[in-house]
């Protein structure tokens, strides 16, 4: 052999060739050959030893979302691989690019119920963009090259490669590595049809009350600049989904708020008043649309999306502009007329003032002695000037952060959107810090979600990471409790949750910490958090039964949003 290498060495060499620098993972028997080879790659590849495989994949998600790169995960077979399932499902629905490499038992043992054998390919087929099992080392280079191309092109998503142990230890000649930029039958993005773009522009130009709603597709397509140009030339009010936040700064004069169940009052109500709805890089999720048979029935719908499966899936479109929004938006901007809509924007402002009076002012200056979550977010905005990355778990604190957070930069809001995964926040914040090491990263987490993955504090300790953690503690599974209060006659079933002493817990991980419950201590606590040059945990005790409003009740239309 001219240049013999083991399959494991080839795996790592492929990662280096793809520009990978950071891997999140946990070793085990079936992937041990790859970890053995990793011993000689420590100068090229930094491996982060997590405390659970779910933590590893959520870290990879946070890394990918903060950096725009593809996250990489290692896990062993059996329970190691199945512990990735929640993160794969989360990454699939939120279009997060990942390459997950799992070890597998020897090929001759497949199907024999060998120790730690699980059919991870069939388990993960519905929740990956692509998956493949390698049983021969000769397949490794081509498969990994395909994996990175598929994960990071078109509508991004997670890919899983399962490698049997015999393929990892097999010795073969290594060929020159070639990145993949084409796969027959795989069409990541279409050729843009200019005549469709012109039809969309004509409809926009003829509109009296047009409305832009956008999602994460703008960020995934690196189209923030093209999007801002389109928004500003068009003069049209624009609202974001949860995952789209940051693509346009939240202080932009045409930004009119967040859509959705706990979004702002004006964009929800006026969705059912506009004459043309321009949806960009979003999928008309049920949390955005509410009751579909009452959603924007008066409007012509223009839908820009890279994934043809999303066109007409939930909402019938008048004009579908299929393509990469970084290509379609400049073409559309060139065709539209430069306009202003002062009266239409004034309507959004009028409804915002109504929301401000009934909801926001009471959250920011409550009559109760108890702190509100909104107060905490408001103080974070002031302390960071809206330039931090805010990573949230799932629940009331998530919706409050998205509602009140100041997102002046792209990729500054990282949360679990489509799957709503509790336990996402802490590991994703750790991953985000690896993805954006020079940016302040704050994990804003509820007391329920924090207890699902709190063991990953050990990574902060071991890696000496400067990750800021804020636990908003209301001693409840707050979002479930809110629904039980509003829709189940306050029958609080299994939602009261006892927390450990978080300050003692943080000390066990050598992380400085402070607990506050009084309003006058909030600024001091945040000052300590931000002045710390290492990780810091701040526990904030907030009102136990505060609710997040506005709210679109399930089964209602967006125009039936409640302010109280």
Catalytic annotation, residues: 53, 115-116, 165, 479
State the pairing for strand pair 389-392/441-446: parallel
DSSP state of 361: H
Quickly count: other Cβ atoms within 10 Å of residue 482's Cβ.
Answer: 22
**From CA 464, how far away is CA 470, in angstroms rounded?**
18
Closest alpha carbon to 53 in 76, 37, 34: 76
CB 280 within 8 A of CB 214: yes
**From CA 429, how far away is CA 290, in angstroms rounded?**
30
Which single residue is written with the structure tokens 């080879």? 37
User: 303 is written with which tokens?
Assistant: 């839908």
User: 502 is written with which tokens?
Assistant: 């978080």
**From CA 302, how far away is CA 335, in angstroms rounded?**
15
Give 139's strand partners: none
Give 303's strand partners: 279, 320
**From CA 99, how far away is CA 24, in angstroms rounded?**
11
Closest alpha carbon to 31 in 71, 72, 81: 81
CB 213 within 8 A of CB 267: yes
Q: Spell 344-364 as b/e; 16+ CB within 10 A means b.
A: bbebbeebbeebbeebbebbe
Q: Which residues contact 526 (CB under 8 A, 6 or more apart)?
A: 379, 380, 383, 538
The DSSP-derived string for 23-77 is EEE---GGGHHHHHHHTT-TTT-EEEE-SSHHHHHHHHHHHHHHHSS-EEEEE-S
**From CA 300, how far away is CA 175, in angstroms rounded?**
54
The pair phi, psi for residue 65, each rounded to 5°, is -70, -35
**From CA 442, how far away is CA 529, in angstroms rounded?**
10
- The angle that helices 425-435 and 53-67 make with each other, rounded to 10 degrees, is 50
User: 33 is written with which tokens?
Assistant: 């050959």
Q: Which residues contact 315 (CB under 8 A, 6 or more apart)?
A: 279, 284, 289, 292, 295, 296, 301, 303
Measured between its terminal Cα atoms, the distance across the chain in Å is 74
- Strands in 413-414's sheet, in edge-to-edge order, are 413-414, 389-392, 441-446, 468-473, 536-541, 513-516
Give 443's strand partners: 391, 469
The distance from CA 120 to its chain's CA centroid, rounded to whole angstroms, is: 24
Which single residue is written with the structure tokens 């405390």? 51
**From CA 322, how far away is CA 208, in angstroms rounded?**
24
């Amino acid at each position: 052999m001219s240049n013999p290498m083991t399959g494991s060495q080839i795996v790592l060499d492929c990662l280096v060739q793809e520009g990978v620098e950071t891997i999140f993972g946990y070793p085990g028997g079936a992937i041990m050959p790859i970890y053995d080879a990793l011993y000689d790659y420590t100068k090229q590849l930094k491996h982060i030893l997590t405390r659970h495989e779910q933590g590893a994949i959520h870290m990879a998600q946070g890394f990918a979302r903060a950096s725009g790169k593809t996250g990489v995960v290692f896990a062993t077979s059996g329970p190691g691989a199945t512990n990735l399932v929640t993160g794969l499902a989360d990454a699939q629905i939120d279009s997060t690019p990942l390459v997950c490499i799992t070890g597998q038992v020897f090929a001759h043992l497949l199907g024999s119920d060998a120790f730690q054998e699980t059919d991870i390919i069939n388990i993960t087929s519905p929740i990956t963009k692509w998956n493949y099992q390698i049983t021969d080392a000769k397949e490794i280079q081509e498969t990994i090259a395909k994996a990175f191309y598929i994960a990071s092109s078109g509508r991004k998503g997670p890919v899983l490669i399962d490698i049997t142990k015999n393929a990892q230890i097999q010795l073969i000649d290594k060929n020159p590595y070639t990145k993949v930029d084409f796969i027959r039958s795989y069409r990541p993005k279409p050729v843009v049809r200019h005549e469709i773009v012109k039809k969309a522009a004509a409809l926009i130009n003829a509109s009296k009350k047009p409305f832009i709603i956008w999602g994460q597709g703008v960020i995934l397509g690196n189209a923030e600049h093209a999007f801002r140009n389109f928004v500003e030339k068009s003069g049209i009010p624009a609202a974001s989904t949860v995952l789209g936040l940051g693509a346009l700064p939240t202080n932009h004069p045409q930004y009119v708020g967040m859509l959705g169940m706990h979004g702002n009052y004006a964009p929800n109500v006026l969705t059912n008043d506009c004459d043309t709805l321009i949806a960009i890089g979003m999928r008309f999720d049920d949390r955005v649309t509410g009751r579909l048979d009452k959603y924007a029935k008066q409007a012509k719908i223009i839908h820009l999306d890279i994934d043809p499966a999303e066109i007409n899936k939930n909402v019938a479109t008048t004009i579908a502009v299929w393509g990469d929004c970084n290509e379609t938006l400049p073409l559309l901007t060139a065709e539209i007329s430069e306009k202003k809509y002062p009266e239409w924007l004034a309507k959004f402002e009028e409804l915002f003032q109504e929301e401000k009076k009934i909801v926001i002012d009471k959250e920011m200056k409550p009559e109760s002695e108890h702190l509100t979550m909104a107060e905490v977010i408001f103080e974070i905005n002031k302390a960071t000037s809206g330039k931090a990355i805010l990573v949230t778990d799932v629940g009331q604190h998530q919706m409050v952060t998205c509602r009140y957070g100041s997102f002046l930069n792209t990729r500054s809001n990282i949360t679990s959107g489509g799957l709503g995964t509790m336990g996402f926040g802490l590991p994703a914040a750790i991953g985000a810090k690896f993805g954006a090491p020079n940016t302040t990263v704050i994990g804003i987490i509820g007391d329920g979600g924090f207890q699902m993955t709190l063991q990953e504090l050990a990574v902060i300790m071991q890696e000496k990471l400067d990750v800021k953690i804020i636990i908003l503690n209301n001693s409840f599974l707050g979002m479930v409790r809110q629904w039980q209060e509003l829709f189940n006659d306050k029958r609080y079933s299994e939602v009261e949750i006892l927390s450990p002493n978080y300050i003692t817990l943080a000390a066990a991980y050598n992380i400085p910490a402070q607990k506050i419950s009084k309003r006058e201590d909030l600024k001091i606590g945040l000052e300590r958090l931000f002045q710390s040059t290492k990780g810091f945990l701040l526990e904030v005790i907030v009102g136990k039964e505060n609710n997040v409003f506005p709210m679109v009740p399930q089964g209602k239309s967006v125009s039936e949003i409640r302010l109280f």
